[in-house]
Amino acid sequence: MKPKIAPILKVILAIALLLCLLDMPYGYYQLVRYIAFMVFVVLAFDSNESGYKRMALIYVLLAITFQPFVKLSLGRFIWNAVDVGVATFLLVSLFVNPKNEKPSDRF
């Protein structure tokens, strides 16, 4: 993936997740789940290809959390907290360089 695409995907997804805090139609939440799933799969693949295995694992876990195929019923309050937490994580990851994690084949 080109280096400039990942930050754009992160910002768009963070905005979409924060919009989930508003009273939106149910279809919007379903759309966000599909988009989040696809973005996290792409980010996991990109992180893995770059050698950042821990970040790839985090993105895989987020993809599983947001996967749209089997509904994970957590309630609106918990989903709102998850949305804010993940949006914050995505935005912070734009500014924090994973240099502490050296590319390697191990976790």
Is residue 101 classed as helix, strand or coil in its secondary structure?
coil
Could you tell me if residue 10 is inside a domain?
yes
Domain encompassing residue 55: 5-95
Could you tell me if residue 27 is inside a domain?
yes
Q: What percent of the chain has pLDDT over 70?
A: 87
Could you tell me if residue 106 is inside a domain?
no
Could you tell me if residue 44 is inside a domain?
yes
Q: For position 87, what pLDDT does the model report?
A: 94
Could you tell me if residue 105 is inside a domain?
no
Q: Residue 92 is encoded by which pair of tokens?
A: 């912070």
Domain count, the chain: 1
Using an 8 Å Cβ cutoff, are 33 and 48 in contact? Answer: no
Using an 8 Å Cβ cutoff, are 103 and 50 in contact? Answer: yes
For the full predicted model, state whether its pTM sits above 0.75.
yes
Q: Residue 59's closest CA among 72, 49, 69, 71?
A: 49
Could you tell me if residue 101 is inside a domain?
no
Q: Residue 80 is encoded by which pair of tokens?
A: 């709102």
Alpha helices in the chain (DSSP H): 5-19, 26-50, 53-66, 76-95
Q: Residue 70 is encoded by which pair of tokens?
A: 């089997």
Reported as a single tens digit per residue, the pLDDT across 37-51 is 999 999 999 888 888
Could you tell me if residue 20 is inside a domain?
yes
Reported as a single tens digit per residue, the pLDDT across 12-21 is 999 999 998 8
pLDDT beyond 90 at 104: no
